[in-house]
Structure 1
Amino acid sequence: MSPNISGYRWLALVSYIGLLSWVLIWQFATDFSQQSVLFKSLVYVLPLLFPLLGIIRGKPYTHAWANFILMWYFLHSLTMLYIAPEQRWWAAVELLLTTLAFAGCTLFARNQGRALGLGLKKLKDEQDG
């Protein structure tokens, strides 16, 4: 693995685990919401656990589809920045971690996928072959 790809993997891993930790602290250690523990666990924590093993193992495909899950947290942070002035600092950190995780996952999936020859073939190449 090249140093660039390794750096992208590190960025994705650290920011993803950081986001998971931040969400756990925000939702369970603060007293902002009156939602049940089950609701918080299912809505805020569970989605981040689905791709965690693949991200830890460095699987490019998992990094790629983890971005779909990250978009939930991106939208959540933007919404909280707008509607909850008392939680803006929490939402700003969530936005930063989500953005870094998205960039790291995207760059790692793209570059490691190319290095492994996992890219999608273009329709034009399929029709010619």
Structure 2
Amino acid sequence: MTNDKRFSLPHTAAVASLLLLIAVSLSWELWIAPLREGGSWLALKALPLCLPLRGIFKGRVYTFQYCSMFILIYFAEAVMRLFDASVASRWCAAAALLCSSVFFVSCLAFVKQARKAAKGV
């Protein structure tokens, strides 16, 4: 097993859940259940999720730290939209809720693992 933190379970889970959240956000607002017929400008909400991708891929602790707070906005939106009238929108909200939850927990685990490695424990 390698000591590189980028190949750890928390890192892999964070990368996968962030990419899935971007995919869910785009498909939700463009094709599956847009607020308006033909797509919605809310698809732009996926753009801020793309900004920390480089730091997440490289395993930068600072990026994981601020993303753990940043992702809570998407978590809150997913919780609110779980009560939407459309079934398709509720499924998308559930998927976004799962992805944001996994990403949040993965960020915390990654930062904890990095701090433990920095202390040499």
Alignment TM class, shorter chain as reference: 0.7 to 0.9
Equivalent position of 1:97 in the other structure: 99
1:54 aligns with 2:55: yes
Equivalent position of 1:65 in the other structure: 66
1:78 aligns with 2:89: no
How much identity, in percent, do the aligned residues show? 27
**Residues 19 and 31 (structure 1), Cα distance of their counterparts in 2 relative to 1, 3 Å cut:** closer
**CA separation in 1, counterparts of 2:90 and 2:43?**
21
* Structure label with greater radius of gyration: 1
Equivalent position of 1:39 in the other structure: 41
Quick check: 2:30–2:43 contact (8 Å CA) kept in 1? no
Quick check: 1:60–1:110 contact (8 Å CA) kept in 2? no
Gaps of 5+ in 1: 118-129
RMSD of the TM alignment (CA)?
Answer: 2.4
Equivalent position of 1:115 in the other structure: 117
Provide TM-score, normalisation by structure 1.
0.77
Equivalent position of 2:32 in the other structure: 30
Shift of 1:34: 2.1
Runs of 4 or more, structure 1, over 4 Å off, are 35-38
Shift of 1:2: 6.7
Once the two structures are superposed, the pairs formed by residues 13-28 of structure 1 within 5 Å of their partners are: 13-28=15-30
Q: Which has the higher contact order (CA 8 A, sep 6+)?
A: 1
Q: Deviations over 1:6-40 (max 9, x none)?
A: 01111111111111111111111234312997832
**CA separation in 2, counterparts of 1:41 and 1:93?**
16
Provide TM-score, normalisation by structure 2.
0.81
Gaps of 5+ in 2: none
**CA separation in 1, counterparts of 2:97 and 2:64?**
18
Quick check: 2:21–2:96 contact (8 Å CA) kept in 1? yes
